A and B are shown apart, each in its own frame.
Chain A
């Protein structure tokens, strides 16, 4: 069974068809790339999958169970986390606090536990803190836990967003343009991080513009254009697809 399957998803905003009957499947353990020109509907599809938008029609299945009617926080609990294209960190919290918030989905302390601070709550808090430190090290932000999120360098902010998403213990992690605005060196380091993530058992779904990175990294790629999927398959095959070339370079498909 596919980890994620998107089945004929359409999304209309007023008279605009942002997505038209898009279908794709992501298998556990792969790095799946989603590419397409600006305005093709990549982020809209992300938002439909993660519960931020409600789909106009179609279904999104996570491990076979329909999730398109669920709220974002419920989808996260089922193991599908995401990052945002325009970084959405909790800017006035420290890096560590950001990741600690990410543990919310996997912890339980309620008001009573928080007020009484019983042994269980204390143990949970220690666990949250330890895991957060661990994740910061994992993404390469060791020693920056006390830095304010908004004071981090741009590339580090991207990394922090990934650490925060990882704190929710996702099976599937969707990254919306994670290397946008980075230099080639930083991009390469991020690519290494993605491979490490996959080895760690996280399936990745990647929106990306950098074709080189996508081709080098992704097992399979889907191409969106004007809200339709125009190609899907192994990276190399997609690259030579005439429809894809036409979409990127213009001209008759």
Chain B
């Protein structure tokens, strides 16, 4: 196994090709192997990867704890619904609405960031948490006096994605196969996710990325290096929000229905967990975190069937089990891999440095005792 890994490591192009083939074939493997329900899960995995990559810019790169990130997802989704559904009778094309939604969310990122980014750590977390809730509550209540969001009922009949006259709303029949729209969504979402990963990866290893890292480490010293900390923090916020808005627009078009229930605090925390679990600041880690935390709860559903088959009834509800395992996983991670499953170089050093310091202190104690 190690030998295989090693030889793969020496052939990055081969790995890239294998990965590309796997990603291209994945929906068919999933669809025919596990059924179309899993294909839908796969689409959601990609949406969450997109969200996690966006939040990672804010939390992982710039070190700004944002607990209301899902609000930008909501804004992107609602903007899509306003511009492409019977609600206002507007049916703008997909390619026009999506960038508008992303920009709209980005604008809100700046609006929220401008007054709040002088706060740090816990204080920023509380304010962003409040912002997330405010957006959700607005969406929940803005059905009167003017019906903007249709309140808790949500908005439906949202236009499906349509690319070059080909609508994603209906299944496609080719070669005697029936391909449901989830296939097309997969490739569309994959394209956007790869784009987001590319942007995040390029930013990370650049003048901008270094400046974010410096702000995260020591804001005063960063300013003393000529870094405009306010603008760069705003930039991180706006970029994260833009990715969130993009994911929101895709979500609305995919589901055809949105309601405030999809944008609860739990969702914000879930995306944050993906980053923390996977490895903050490291793109492969973040992707892994998003994949795991989206897939595992779905896999746990089988436990319900298993219980029914063996015990004749459902003793432990898989939904409860999900939360339990979630907690256990997070605690286990804190104990065994505090920097995440695939930590970034910098994070690994941080935690290693703390451990090293503790060891040193202990060694000093021994020294003085002897």
**B278 within 8 Å of A by Cβ?**
no
**A196 within 8 Å of B by Cβ?**
no
Residue of A nearest to B348 (CB): A92
**Would you give the shortest CB distance from B137 to chain A, in whole angstroms?**
33
Q: Which of B210-264 contact A (CB under 8 A)?
A: 210-211, 213-214, 217-218, 220-229, 235, 239
Tell whether, in the assembled complex, residue B226 and residue A97 are in contact, meaning their CB atoms are under 8 Å apart.
Answer: no
**B206 within 8 Å of A by Cβ?**
yes
**Would you give the shortest CB distance from A249 to chain B, in whole angstroms?**
35
Tell whether, in the assembled complex, residue A117 and residue B202 are in contact, meaning their CB atoms are under 8 Å apart.
Answer: yes
Tell whether, in the assembled complex, residue B224 and residue A104 are in contact, meaning their CB atoms are under 8 Å apart.
Answer: no
* Complex contacts, B353 vs chain A, CB 8 Å: 91-92, 148, 150
Tell whether, in the assembled complex, residue B214 and residue A90 are in contact, meaning their CB atoms are under 8 Å apart.
Answer: yes
Q: Which of A51-95 contact B (CB under 8 A)?
A: 51-52, 71-73, 76-77, 81-82, 84, 88-93
Given contacts A73-B227, A76-B224, contact A101 B239 (CB under 8 A): no
**B209 within 8 Å of A by Cβ?**
yes
Given contacts A168-B225, A168-B226, contact A114 B213 (CB under 8 A): no
One of A92, A103, A109, A115 near B217 (C-beta < 8 A): A92
* Complex contacts, A164 vs chain B, CB 8 Å: 225
- Taken together as a complex, chains A and B put the C-alpha atoms of A203 and B227 apart, in Å, by 22
* Complex contacts, B349 vs chain A, CB 8 Å: 92, 148, 150
Find the residue from A88, A107, A113, A125 having the highest chain B CB count within 10 A: A88
**Would you give the shortest CB distance from B162 to chain A, in whole angstroms?**
28
One of B198, B208, B346, B347 near A109 (C-beta < 8 A): B208
**B305 within 8 Å of A by Cβ?**
no
Tell whether, in the assembled complex, residue B346 and residue A92 are in contact, meaning their CB atoms are under 8 Å apart.
Answer: yes
**B203 within 8 Å of A by Cβ?**
yes
Per DSSP, chain B at the interface is helix
Residue of A nearest to B209 (CB): A114
* Complex contacts, B229 vs chain A, CB 8 Å: 73
Given contacts A73-B228, A111-B239, contact A104 B210 (CB under 8 A): yes
* Complex contacts, B317 vs chain A, CB 8 Å: none
Residue-wise interface mask of A (40-51) relative to B, using a CB-CB cutoff of 8 A (1 in contact, 0 not):
000000000011
Given contacts A90-B218, A148-B349, contact A73 B226 (CB under 8 A): yes
Tell whether, in the assembled complex, residue A93 and residue B208 are in contact, meaning their CB atoms are under 8 Å apart.
Answer: no
**B199 within 8 Å of A by Cβ?**
yes
Tell whether, in the assembled complex, residue A81 and residue B224 are in contact, meaning their CB atoms are under 8 Å apart.
Answer: yes
**Would you give the shortest CB distance from A60 to chain B, in whole angstroms?**
16
**B350 within 8 Å of A by Cβ?**
yes
Tell whether, in the assembled complex, residue B217 and residue A124 are in contact, meaning their CB atoms are under 8 Å apart.
Answer: no
**Would you give the shortest CB distance from B198 to chain A, in whole angstroms?**
8
Given contacts A92-B346, A93-B346, contact A82 B207 (CB under 8 A): no
Tell whether, in the assembled complex, residue B218 and residue A124 are in contact, meaning their CB atoms are under 8 Å apart.
Answer: no
Per DSSP, chain A at the interface is helix
- Taken together as a complex, chains A and B put the C-alpha atoms of A116 and B195 apart, in Å, by 12
Residue-wise interface mask of B (77-99) relative to A, using a CB-CB cutoff of 8 A (1 in contact, 0 not):
00000000000000000000000
* Complex contacts, B217 vs chain A, CB 8 Å: 90-93
* Complex contacts, B203 vs chain A, CB 8 Å: 111, 114-115
Given contacts A92-B217, A92-B353, contact A105 B207 (CB under 8 A): no
One of B207, B209, B214 near A128 (C-beta < 8 A): B207
Tell whether, in the assembled complex, residue A104 and residue B350 are in contact, meaning their CB atoms are under 8 Å apart.
Answer: no
Tell whether, in the assembled complex, residue B225 and residue A88 are in contact, meaning their CB atoms are under 8 Å apart.
Answer: no
**A102 within 8 Å of B by Cβ?**
yes
**Would you give the shortest CB distance from A14 to chain B, in whole angstroms?**
21
**A110 within 8 Å of B by Cβ?**
yes
Given contacts A93-B213, A107-B207, A111-B203, contact A88 B223 (CB under 8 A): no
Q: Which of A1-53 contact B (CB under 8 A)?
A: 50-52
Tell whether, in the assembled complex, residue B208 and residue A90 are in contact, meaning their CB atoms are under 8 Å apart.
Answer: no
Find the residue from A90, A93, A148, A164 having the highest chain B CB count within 10 A: A90
* Complex contacts, B239 vs chain A, CB 8 Å: 111
Given contacts A73-B227, A73-B228, A148-B353, contact A101 B222 (CB under 8 A): yes
Tell whether, in the assembled complex, residue B208 and residue A100 are in contact, meaning their CB atoms are under 8 Å apart.
Answer: no
One of A72, A89, A111 near B208 (C-beta < 8 A): A111
Tell whether, in the assembled complex, residue B207 and residue A84 are in contact, meaning their CB atoms are under 8 Å apart.
Answer: no
* Complex contacts, A167 vs chain B, CB 8 Å: 225
* Complex contacts, A52 vs chain B, CB 8 Å: 220, 223
Find the residue from B203, B208, B211 having the highest chain A CB count within 10 A: B208
Given contacts A88-B221, A92-B346, contact A124 B207 (CB under 8 A): yes
Could you name 10 residue pairs across A and B whose Cβ atoms are closer than 8 Å? Answer: A50-B224, A52-B220, A73-B227, A73-B228, A89-B218, A97-B210, A101-B213, A110-B208, A115-B199, A150-B349
A-B CB proximity, top 5 nearest? A105-B226, A114-B206, A76-B226, A88-B221, A90-B217
